[in-house]
Amino acid sequence: MKTYDVMELLQKTTDYALTGAVFAEDKDFLTRAAQELKYSCGNFYINDKSTGAVVGQQPFGGSRLSGTNDKAGAPHYISRWGSYQSVKESFTKLNTWKYPYMEN
């Protein structure tokens, strides 16, 4: 079985997707591996150990049965626990609710 076959098998059959790593000197291989394994892990490491996430410095989280890929530590992580709402307040008197194009 060739390396690319193994990557395809991993992509199609694993139920978990927390972390993954590949090691190589061939840049073309690394580029293809990153693309092939894009959805196989929440955090992907190239030529680095797969336990390298540093709390407070790198978002961390998996997908599939490993989690919701929320990336704890990422700037928008807090939005997972709330709901955005836009509020606009006008401080001038509103004479009409119509827009100019509605006047004709």
Residue 62: how many other CB atoms lie within 10 Å: 19
The model's pLDDT over 46-71, given as tens digits with 9 standing for 90+, comes to 988 877 677 667 777 787 887 776 76
Instruction: Please name the CATH architecture into which domain 3-81 falls.
Output: 3-Layer(aba) Sandwich (3.40)
| Cα–Cα distance measured from residue 57 to residue 74, given in angstroms and rounded to the nearest whole number | 9
pLDDT band, very low/low/confident/very high, at 27 (cuts 50, 70, 90): very high
Q: What is the pLDDT of residues 76-93, one digit of tens each?
A: 767 777 766 666 777 788
Helix ranges (H only) for the chain are 3-13, 27-36
Q: Give the pLDDT confidence score for residue 56 in this predicted structure.
A: 67
Lowest mean pLDDT among 16-20, 25-29, 78-82, 94-98: 78-82
pLDDT of residue 86: 64
